[in-house]
Chain A
Amino acid sequence: GENVEQHPSTLSVQEGDSAVIKCTYSDSASNYFPWYKQELGKRPQLIIDIRSNVGEKKDQRIAVTLNKTAKHFSLHITETQPEDSAVYFCAASNIQGAQKLVFGQGTRLTINP
């Protein structure tokens, strides 16, 4: 089955700097890669996702890149702000194959003022 590894487990950056979180996956058939943000005491919420027919997707200050050959994908947050502090989870699945969404272990991102 699919296995998703996420790094780093914790990340601390200065406000205004960029943050990058990386994930690798094992199943080459995976074709859907969402990212979730979980603020303290809240539920995980989808912030951006990418499907395997594209290599990059942007939404304002966040972007996700996908390298299918290397089987890794990354979340990029630019111009970080205090409200970006949260735990971020990556995930992967093969939608057409009805395979379940497998989550990474999470990255705790702290933005220092």
Chain B
Amino acid sequence: EAQVTQNPRYLITVTGKKLTVTCSQNMNHEYMSWYRQDPGLGLRQIYYSMNVEVTDKGDVPEGYKVSRKEKRNFPLILESPSPNQTSLYFCASSSYRGDTQYFGPGTRLTVL
């Protein structure tokens, strides 16, 4: 089954404790991206990747890192999380930039 998976689905952590949210897709998509969703602000892109080893900042990249060592995986790293990063995070993939995005199930992160 074609899908995008994310782990964990829920995470409660404390300020400053490094965390990684994993994302994996099995559709051989070249383009992957991370979004955060906050009430009233819609979907905001954090980082994206056009292909392996090619990543770039989206609209709200501060406080986040990503890597793309394999085509299928695109982890999101928060080196020192802060309470303002409490949000719902979605990973998405598509065949190429601008095409239909397929979203993962979401990760609800709470930073205390």
A residues near B (Cβ < 8 Å) are: 9, 32, 34, 42-46, 49, 89, 93-95, 97-101, 103-106
Contacts and interface: CB of A to CB of B under 8 A. Distances in A.
B34 interface: no
Those 4 A-B pairs whose CB atoms lie nearest each other, nearest first? A93-B98, A43-B103, A105-B42, A95-B98
Contact of A43 (B33, B41, B90, B99): B90
Interface string B9-22: 00000000000000
Contacts of B33: 100
A40 B94 CA distance: 23
Interface of chain A: mostly helix, strand, loop or mixed: loop
Given A43-B90, A89-B43, A105-B40, A100 B104 contact: no
B42 A46 contact: no
Given A43-B103, A44-B90, 6 more contacts: A43-B104, A43-B106, A44-B43, A98-B96, A103-B43, A105-B41
B105 interface: yes
A89 to B, nearest CB: 7
A100 B100 CA distance: 10
Interface of B: 33, 40-43, 45, 48, 58, 90, 94, 96-106
A34 B41 contact: no
Contacts of B48: 100
Contact of A49 (B41, B100, B103): B100
B101 A101 contact: yes
A106 B42 contact: yes
Nearest to A97: B98
B42 A89 contact: yes
27 contacts: A9-B40, A32-B99, A34-B100, A42-B105, A42-B106, A43-B103, A43-B104, A43-B105, A43-B106, A44-B43, A93-B97, A93-B98, A93-B99, A97-B98, A98-B96, A98-B98, A100-B33, A100-B45, A100-B48, A101-B94, A101-B97, A101-B98, A101-B101, A103-B42, A104-B42, A105-B41, A106-B43
